[in-house]
């Protein structure tokens, strides 16, 4: 029996002192009731809630956990730096080492700047692009996520049209639409944001065509605008270089975050030589941007990325999980769609407009100790072992079996907030 009594108590206390009880993407308001909101501990591939339940975790803190929670090498590097100092009146040597190492690993990059969150890095990219030729327009594909600042937040409450006055939207994976956006900007394009693959919530994931990637590069070159790749979610999960290196496309700027310190708070903007003067001319800073501990953690993380088979191991575990889930679904006669790279999987059910099946299946898995997500892409860390995959598959099999039994009487989506959100997606006003 998983009572979640301590978690429930924490949520009740939070409602008194935290607006709405919780905010942002880590709120469990749209997840099934079996998902805990708070965690007491994390180690390797596992999380523990406050009621003592362990979960095999396939969200990785929404991305940052690349190598495993509390990875020994990263923890040792962070703790060694902490003995000397963290937030000081200036950065430590780790900043220079980190910039040198990062730049040496990423083909397009000649320089690096560091900040805290992905939103800092994308905003810094936007300002750098505008500074490059003193232009204003920023092109963004509709529905792509680049952070929670007023110019790009998916929520509109508290945001004014003026916050986005110089953002022009175009359709993802549609070069004609991008061309039209350039035309509309009439010579005033500062930069174009590119997302390596489509990873929107509630929708199947897909890679854009090579022509799109190459075409965006060519449009930017013709206009002398900067191509900015947002690697915040994808960075080092697809490749050890920028994701579009598979297409031979090099951006002028790339924004990184999440995995960079394997959980320690640090993000970065990398740039090519041609954007260096622009980057030197803008005013960007933050009280904690120069802290040494996350930088030491990032130096150690990049070393692991360069010198271990973390990616190959992660992909192998991810493919085994994907294959196992596919055969279980088929055996049960339940149609699902597994999309995106196996190591960043999304699993949606066919004929599930109100997500009653997805909620039941992931809710059951959570109750049985596996933390999956019903509508956001998931993440695997390199800490997931073949035994974890086996244990996970035992749980997903049981969840499929229970779902099959319950299907004839499965009630409509019981989570009202999720039901409303899905209704809004189906009929946008
Ligand atoms: N860009 C992308 C593609 C992201 O996935 C995210 C975070 N989910 C961000 C930007 C913003 O990063 P952060 O939440 O660290 O500000």
Contact predicate 197/208, CB 8 Å: yes
The CA-atom distances, in angstroms, between 354 and each of 143, 349, 409, 410, 413 are 20, 10, 15, 12, 6
10 Å Cβ neighbour count for 425? 12
Over the stretch 388-412, which tens digit does the pLDDT of each residue have? 999 999 999 999 999 999 999 999 9
User: Over pLDDT 70: what percentage of the chain?
Assistant: 99
Residues near ligand 1 (Cβ within 6 A) = 117-119, 122, 145-147, 230, 232-233, 257
Where does the pLDDT of residue 426 fall: very low under 50, low under 70, confident under 90, or very high at 90 and above? confident
The 10 Å Cβ neighbour count of residue 427 is 6
Using the predicted structure, report yes or no on whether residue 427 has a pLDDT greater than 90: no
Helix (H, G, I), strand (E, B) or coil at 254: strand
Residue 132 has pLDDT above 60, yes or no: yes
DSSP string, 320-374: HHHHHHHHHHHHHT--EEEES-TTS-EEEESS-TT-HHHHHHHHHHHHTTEE--S
147 CA → ligand 1 middle, Å: 5
Which ligand 1 atom sits closest to the C-alpha of 120? 16
Ligand 1 mutation target, pool 26, 116, 125, 145, most atoms within 8 A of CB: 145
What percent of the chain is modeled with pLDDT above 90? 98
Distance, in Å, from the CA atom of 342 to the CA atom of 384, rounded to the nearest integer, reads 13
Hey, which of 123, 193, 233, 379 would you mutate to test ligand 1's pocket, going by the most ligand atoms within 8 Å of its Cβ?
233
Task: Please provide residue 198's backbone torsions phi and psi, each rounded to the nearest 5 degrees.
Answer: -80, 120
What is the Å distance from ligand 1's center to 120 Cα? 9
Spatial distance between the Cα atoms of 291 and 161, rounded to a whole number of angstroms: 35
Domain boundaries along the sequence of the chain: 5-62+310-426, 72-307
| Token pair belonging to 394 | 């035992």
Q: Which contiguous run of DSSP H or E holds residue 424?
A: helix 416-426
Can you tell me which atom of ligand 1 is nearest the CA of 122? Answer: 10
Domain 5-62+310-426, architecture per CATH: Alpha-Beta Complex (3.90)
Give the tokens for residue 288.
């904690």
- Check pLDDT > 70 for residue 275: yes
**Residue 428 clears pLDDT 70, i.e. is over it:** no
Contact 114, 295 (CB under 8 A): yes
Q: What is the pLDDT of residues 246-267, one digit of tens each?
A: 999 999 999 999 999 999 999 9
Looking from the CA of residue 147, the nearest atom of ligand 1 is 11
**pTM of the predicted structure, to 2 decimals:** 0.97
| CA-nearest residue, atom 9 of ligand 1 | 147
- Residue 403 Cα to ligand 1 midpoint, Å, equals 33
User: Residue 429 pLDDT > 80, yes or no?
Assistant: no
Count of positions (residues) in the chain:
429
- Residue from 189, 194, 224 nearest 209 by CA: 194
**Is-contact 406 93, C-beta < 8 A?**
no
Q: Which atom of ligand 1 is nearest to the CA of 267?
A: 15
> Which residue owns the Cα nearest ligand 1 atom 8?
233
* Pair 170, 142: CB distance under 8 Å: yes
> How far, in Å, is the centroid of ligand 1 from the Cα of 112?
18
User: Which SS3 state, helix, strand or coil, does residue 247 take?
Assistant: helix
Q: What is the pLDDT of residue 1?
A: 45
How far, in Å, from the CA of 117 to the mean position of ligand 1? 7
State the Cα–Cα distance between residues 291 and 261, nearest whole angstrom. 12
Ligand 1 mutation pick, 123, 146, 261, max ligand atoms within 8 A of CB: 146
| pLDDT the model gives residue 190 | 98
What is d(CA 48, CA 50) in angstroms, rounded to the nearest whole number? 7
Helix 386-406, helix 310-332: angle, nearest 10: 20
Pairing of strands 111-115, 54-57: unpaired
How far apart CA 111 and CA 296 sit, in angstroms, is 18
Average predicted confidence (pLDDT) for the chain: 97
Query: Each residue of 145-167: pLDDT tens digit?
Result: 999 999 999 999 999 999 999 99
Q: Which two tokens stand for residue 138?
A: 């920023």
Q: Whose CA is nearest to atom 13 of ligand 1?
A: 118
- What is the rounded end-to-end Cα distance, in angstroms, of the chain? 43
The radius of gyration computed from the CA coordinates of the chain, to the nearest angstrom, equals: 22
Best mutation site among 194, 258, 259 for ligand 1 pocket (most ligand atoms within 8 Å of CB): 258
In ligand 1, which atom is closest to the CA atom of 144?
A: 3
| Nearest alpha carbon, ligand 1 atom 14 | 118
CA of 5 to the centre of ligand 1 (A): 32
Which two tokens mark 200?
């929107």
pLDDT digits (tens, 9 = 90+) for 2-21: 667 999 999 999 999 999 99
Side-chain half-sphere CA neighbours of 160 within 13 A:
3
Q: Which atom of ligand 1 is nearest to the CA of 63?
A: 8
Residue 346 sits at φ, ψ, to 5 deg, of: -130, 135
Indicate which atom in ligand 1 lies nearest the CA of residue 25: 8
Strand partners of residue 194: 229
Instruction: State which of 257, 268, 294, 373 you would mutate to test the pocket of ligand 1, scoring each by most atoms of that ligand within 8 A of its C-beta.
Output: 257
Q: Distance from the CA of 58 to the center of ligand 1, in angstroms?
A: 17
From the list 255, 260, 257, 253, the residue with the least C-alpha distance to 299 is 260
CATH of domain 72-307: 3.40.640.10
């Amino acid at each position: 029996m998983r009572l979640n009594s301590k978690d429930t108590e924490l949520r009740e206390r939070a409602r008194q002192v935290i607006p709405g009880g919780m905010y942002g993407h880590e709120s469990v308001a749209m997840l099934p009731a079996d998902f805990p909101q708070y965690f007491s501990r994390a180690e390797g591939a596992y999380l523990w809630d406050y009621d003592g339940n362990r979960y095999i975790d396939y969200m990785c803190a929404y991305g940052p956990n690349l190598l495993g929670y509390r990875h020994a090498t990263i923890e040792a590097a962070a703790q060694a730096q902490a003995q000397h100092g963290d937030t000081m009146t200036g950065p430590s040597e780790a900043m220079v080492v980190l910039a040198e190492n990062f730049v040496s690993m990423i083909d397009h990059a000649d320089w690096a700047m560091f900040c805290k969150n992905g939103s800092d890095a994308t905003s810094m990219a936007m300002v750098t692009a505008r500074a490059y030729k003193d232009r204003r327009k920023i092109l963004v594909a509709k529905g792509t996520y680049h952070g929670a600042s007023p110019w790009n937040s998916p929520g509109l409450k508290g945001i004014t049209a003026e916050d986005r006055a110089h953002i022009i939207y175009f359709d993802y994976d549609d070069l004609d639409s991008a061309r039209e956006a350039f035309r509309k900007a009439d010579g005033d394009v500062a930069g174009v944001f590119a997302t390596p693959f489509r990873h929107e919530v509630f929708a199947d994931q897909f890679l854009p065509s090579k022509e799109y990637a190459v075409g965006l590069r060519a449009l930017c070159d013709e206009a002398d605008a900067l191509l900015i790749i947002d690697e915040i979610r994808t960075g080092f999960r697809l490749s050890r270089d920028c994701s579009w290196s598979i297409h031979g496309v090099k951006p002028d700027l790339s924004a990184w975050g999440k995995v960079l310190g394997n959980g320690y708070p640090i993000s970065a903007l990398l740039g090519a030589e041609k954007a260096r003067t622009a980057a030197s001319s803008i005013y960007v800073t933050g009280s904690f941007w120069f802290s040494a501990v996350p930088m030491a953690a990032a130096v150690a993380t990049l070393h692991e990325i360069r010198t271990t088979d973390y990616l190959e191991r992660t992909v192998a575990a991810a493919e085994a999980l994907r294959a196992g889930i596919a055969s279980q679904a088929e055996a049960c006669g339940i149609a699902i769609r597994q999309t995106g790279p196996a190591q960043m999987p999304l699993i949606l059910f066919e004929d599930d407009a109100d997500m009653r099946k997805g909620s039941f299946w992931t809710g059951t898995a959570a109750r049985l100790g596996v933390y999956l997500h019903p509508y956001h892409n998931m993440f695997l860390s390199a800490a997931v072992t073949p035994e974890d995959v086996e244990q996970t598959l035992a749980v997903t099999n049981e969840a499929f079996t229970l779902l099959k039994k319950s299907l004839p009487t499965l009630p409509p989506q019981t989570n009202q907030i999720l039901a409303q959100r899905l209704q809004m997606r189906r009929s946008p006003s």
